[in-house]
């Protein structure tokens, strides 16, 4: 398992793993590295294939964090799993829209919608 | 328009120091009743620009510094960020929204700054960025 303070709150809902970001700001390179490692471990060490990322706590994130999410999405797709993002506030959604990553990611308004049909 | 605040500072090549200046600038905006959404955009732009200066410009070298100048009037914010690196050519930065680049993890910082700010320009060398935000004005780009 990756080292460092836990940055994700993990909950199992049926066969879906919900990973909720604990941090309000996902900016610092070191934190982003830890978050990335903990995300990748869900897939690569724990073998979870249906993953929902819950952004309800997140108020800021930088392009460095987007990079990790893109890598995670690629890894999940390569493993034939499913990744959804949910509960993204409008300011943050705009960051995804500007960079057109809303086309890449499967994004839902809230956790209920993200769990539906996954 | 009357000047509200003006300062300039050299900081060590360290993102924690950069974030302190970021907080100071956004704090000035908040004190002067700038809309939340614009504070968000400026904060994100500063984060991206300062990380670019420290990481790509100064290449994380600890003996280098970053210069930051800030001027705030009642309705306009201007910030200059200069690193001590060799600069770069803006036109050589690939468009991260093109289909071939969409899944690549890097290259989105500049695009976000351009989108959230009203003014964006580099000097010819490519080591000094000037960004400007007018209160209540959407980006025309």
- At A87 the pLDDT is 98
Residue B140 has pLDDT above 90, yes or no: no
A56 CB-near residues (< 8 Å, 6+ apart):
A20, A86, A87, A111
How far A107 CA lies from chain B's nearest CA (Å)?
Answer: 16
Tens of pLDDT, residue by residue over B100-122, are 888 888 889 999 999 999 999 99
Tens of pLDDT, residue by residue over B37-65, are 999 999 999 999 999 999 999 999 999 99
**Overall residue count recorded for chain B in this entry:** 141
Answer yes or no: do B115 and A64 touch at CB < 8 A: no
Q: Where are the domains of chain A?
A: 8-113
Residue range B3-134 forms a domain whose CATH class is alpha beta
Tens of pLDDT, residue by residue over B78-94, are 999 999 999 999 999 99
Asked if A20 and A54 count as a contact pair (C-beta separation under 8 A), the reply is yes
Q: Enumerate the residues of chain B whose CB falls inside 8 A of the CB of residue A27.
A: 19, 47
Answer yes or no: do B103 and A104 touch at CB < 8 A: yes
Name the closest residue on chain A to residue B95, using Cα atoms.
Answer: A99
Give the end-to-end CA distance of chain A in Å, rounded to a whole number.
26
Chain B contact for A3, CB < 8 A? no
Question: What residues form DSSP beta bridges with A12?
Answer: A17
The span from the CA of A73 to the CA of A67, in Å, is 10
- The interface pTM score, or ipTM, of the predicted complex is 0.90
Answer yes or no: do B47 and A62 touch at CB < 8 A: yes
Q: Where are the domains of chain B?
A: 3-134
Q: How many CB atoms lie within 10 A of CB B141?
A: 8
Q: What is the pTM of this model?
A: 0.92
- At B15 the pLDDT is 94
- At B103 the pLDDT is 84
Tens of pLDDT, residue by residue over A48-105, are 999 999 999 999 999 999 999 999 999 999 999 999 999 999 999 999 999 999 999 9
To the question of domain A8-113 being in CATH 3.30.750.24, the answer is yes
Name the closest residue on chain A to residue B108, using Cα atoms.
Answer: A63
Asked if B69 and B7 count as a contact pair (C-beta separation under 8 A), the reply is yes
A80 CB-near residues (< 8 Å, 6+ apart):
A49
């Amino acid at each position: 398992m990756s080292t460092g303070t836990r940055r994700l709150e993990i909950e199992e809902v049926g066969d879906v793993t919900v990973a909720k970001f604990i941090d309000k700001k996902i900016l610092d390179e070191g934190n982003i590295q830890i978050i990335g490692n903990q995300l990748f471990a869900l897939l690569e060490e724990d073998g979870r294939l249906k993953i929902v990322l819950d952004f309800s706590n997140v108020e800021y994130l930088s392009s460095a964090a987007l990079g990790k999410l893109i890598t995670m999405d690629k890894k999940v797709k390569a493993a034939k799993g499913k990744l959804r993002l949910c509960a993204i506030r409008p300011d943050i959604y705009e960051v995804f829209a500007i960079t057109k990553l809303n086309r890449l990611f499967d994004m839902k308004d809230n956790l209920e919608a993200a769990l539906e049909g996954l | 328009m009357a000047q509200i605040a003006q300062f300039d500072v050299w900081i060590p090549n360290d993102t924690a120091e950069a974030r302190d200046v970021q907080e100071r600038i956004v704090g000035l905006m908040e004190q002067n009743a700038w809309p939340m959404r614009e504070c968000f955009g400026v904060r994100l732009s500063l984060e991206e620009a300062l990380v670019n200066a420290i990481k790509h410009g100064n290449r994380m070298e600890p003996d280098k510094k970053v210069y930051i100048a800030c001027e705030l009037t009642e309705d306009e914010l201007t910030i200059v960020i200069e690193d001590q690196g060799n600069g770069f050519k803006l036109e050589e930065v690939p468009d991260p929204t093109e289909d071939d680049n969409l899944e690549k993890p890097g290259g989105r910082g500049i695009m976000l700054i351009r989108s959230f700010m009203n003014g964006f320009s580099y000097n010819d060398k490519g080591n000094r960025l000037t960004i400007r935000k007018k209160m209540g004005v959407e980006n025309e780009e």
